[in-house]
Amino acid sequence: MFAGLWERLFAKEAHNQGLVSVEPETVLTELARVRLPPQLDAATSLITKVLGGSPDIIRREITVAGARLAVIYIEGLADKSEVERVLNGLLIQRPKVEQVGLDLGSSLKRWREAGLPVGGIRSGSTLEDVAKALLDGETCLMGTGWDEVLILDTTGWENRAVAEPETEAAVRGPREGFIENLSTNVSLIRRRLRHPNLRLEDYTVGELTRTSVTALYIEGIAREKLVDEVRRRLTRIKIDGILESCYLEELIEDAPFSPFPTILNTERPDVVCAALLEGRVCILTDGTPFALLVPATFPVYIMTPEDYNQRWPVAVGIRVIRYLGLFIVPSLYVAFTTFHQEMLPTPLAVSLFMQREQVPYPVLVEAVIMQTTFEILTEAGLRLPRPLGQTIGIVGVLVIGEATVRAGLISAAMVIVVSATAIASYTIPVYDMTQAIRILRFPMIFLAATLGLFGILTGLIIIAIHLVSLRSFGVPFLAGFAPFVRRAQRDIIFRAPWWAMQTRPELVASDNRERQGPNLKPKPPESTSSGANETEAEALGGGNPTGTNGRKHR
């Protein structure tokens, strides 16, 4: 009596009647070996059991011309209106269906030809196909006695509307940003690059999330080796789940321990298209609006699409300002006040030290406290609900800053330095790079406080050594600066006008480098008589409504 009790006491409850294991890593491969039973009821109940009997698995059984068909889909993943359309088609198009005949497998082909009102139809035979299809939002159509299942493409779920990305707003430029849906994102790119050479490669990454990842590149411009390398790195990933493109980024990047990012991420399709035109590869991940671009070099992180959407003189000026913003650092202040007081102009030195009279600790401690406080405030500001955010901003900066200065905890100069640094660092368009610089600021402050100016130079040289050895998918990170390529100077610190950018960046694109024709600089048209001699009447009377020197008139 007690013999079987022990086993039954500790037997595992198998939801699917012991058909397959429940280990997540192996479920799908095991399901691939199970074919569907021919009886409709058995098949549908097996499918429901495999998926855990969730209440959002919807089964509809319909009788069409005497034969029983079953339609299964998962609510929320499949677009209900699509499914309704299929059902309507089945029920209304009965005469045609009767023509086709409803018996068995041989009619599967004719079911397809029968013209169900749905985008794509394919067939599946194993439980794995069915499970994957249902979980992708597709609908399964099964019939009694069929040995295969028809899988109808009805994918459609709730998505955000395409709107301007918050983190990358531009003054001038398209106001479209990627959303979480991969096919919409691909369409945003395809709309801008309407050429057959735009290639897409699909991958599925992540055991449990089965995230769709697409790599895009323009064949003929992107280097073969680069594309191969991307392929290689994406296919070797084995991970539970990919929830954001950052997971991918960390798994395929060149220097996991470097504070500097070597892969650019962006929410804007125009940035992606510009990069694709230069020969880079874009990696889109389903479920996140952030696209990855490889290879990424240092200048790329200081560029914004605005640089290209504005006219040349303005764009150059703004870019130079961004580069200058990199050099405003608190470590200089620390170094000079701690070690090299004699190098400050006397009035300035006097006032600085008067302010610091009340502060009970050395500049290093002051700097660290202030910088840390600022980091905390920044981080807190991100999490606050919007109405509170602005209030805290004002409170944090003005009141707390003012109060600490009054209390003698921090000198006013330090507040100014830290705030100026923070604001300057926000000119850097790409958040990853700002983060890198924030991280590096602390060691630099320590170096400045220990070895003064020499310490800062040491720190700079160490950072330089690191940057110089960094590579992004084979391209040196400081490409254009060092190795110094004269041609590339057209788009690194300065930006040449569009009519002067004849070639694509050498280190990124393959040999196909001419990107526009020569002699594109715009010139005003030749005028037969000089503008100064022309009278108003002649200009107005001339046949051309805009006049030979471009004046418009009503």
- The binding site for another protein (CB under 8 A) comprises 339-340, 342-345, 451-454, 457-458, 461-462, 464-465, 468-469, 476, 478, 481-484
- Minimum Å distance from CB 496 to another protein? 20
- Minimum Å distance from CB 489 to another protein? 13
Long-range contacts (CB closer than 8 Å, 24 or more residues apart) made by 138-141: 138/73, 138/78, 139/71, 139/72, 139/73, 139/78, 139/82, 139/83, 139/86, 140/47, 140/71, 140/72, 140/73, 141/69, 141/70, 141/71, 141/86, 141/111
SS3 label, residue 50: helix
* Cα dist from 53 to 45, 48, 50, 143, 224, whole Å: 9, 5, 7, 21, 47
Question: Would you say 57 or 462 has its CB closer to another protein?
Answer: 462
Please report which residue ranges of 299-385 form alpha helices under DSSP H: 305-309, 312-325, 330-338, 346-356, 363-383
- Minimum Å distance from CB 343 to another protein? 5
- Minimum Å distance from CB 492 to another protein? 13
Considering only CA atoms, which of 386, 389, 407, 408 is closest in space to residue 397?
A: 389
Question: Would you say 345 or 522 has its CB closer to another protein?
Answer: 345
Considering only CA atoms, which of 17, 78, 72, 74 is closest in space to residue 50?
A: 17
Question: Would you say 347 or 543 has its CB closer to another protein?
Answer: 347
- Minimum Å distance from CB 461 to another protein? 5
- Minimum Å distance from CB 453 to another protein? 6
**Helices 363-383 and 412-425: angle between axes, nearest 10 degrees:** 50
Question: Would you say 69 or 479 has its CB closer to another protein?
Answer: 479
10 Å Cβ neighbour count for 430? 20
Question: Would you say 318 or 332 has its CB closer to another protein?
Answer: 332
For every residue of 11-44, DSSP letters joined together read: ----TTTTSS---HHHHHHHHTTPBPPSSHHHHH
- Minimum Å distance from CB 471 to another protein? 11
Question: Would you say 454 or 498 has its CB closer to another protein?
Answer: 454
- Minimum Å distance from CB 28 to another protein? 45
Question: Would you say 39 or 469 has its CB closer to another protein?
Answer: 469
In which element (H, E) is residue 57 found? strand 57-64
Instruction: Give the Cα-Cα-Cα angle 288, 292, 294 (nearest 5 degrees).
Output: 170
SS3 label, residue 150: strand
Can you read off the two tokens belonging to residue 387? Answer: 């109405």
Question: Would you say 15 or 490 has its CB closer to another protein?
Answer: 490
Instruction: Give the Cα-Cα-Cα angle 283, 284, 288 (nearest 5 degrees).
Output: 135
Considering only CA atoms, which of 353, 376, 450, 370 is closest in space to residue 416?
A: 370
- Minimum Å distance from CB 342 to another protein? 7
Question: Would you say 438 or 466 has its CB closer to another protein?
Answer: 466
SS3 label, residue 71: strand
Question: Phi first, then psi: what are they for 417, rounded to 5°?
Answer: -60, -50
Torsion of CA 489, 492, 497, 503, to 10 degrees: 60
Question: Would you say 199 or 466 has its CB closer to another protein?
Answer: 466
- Minimum Å distance from CB 214 to another protein? 35
Question: Phi first, then psi: what are they for 266, rounded to 5°?
Answer: -150, 155
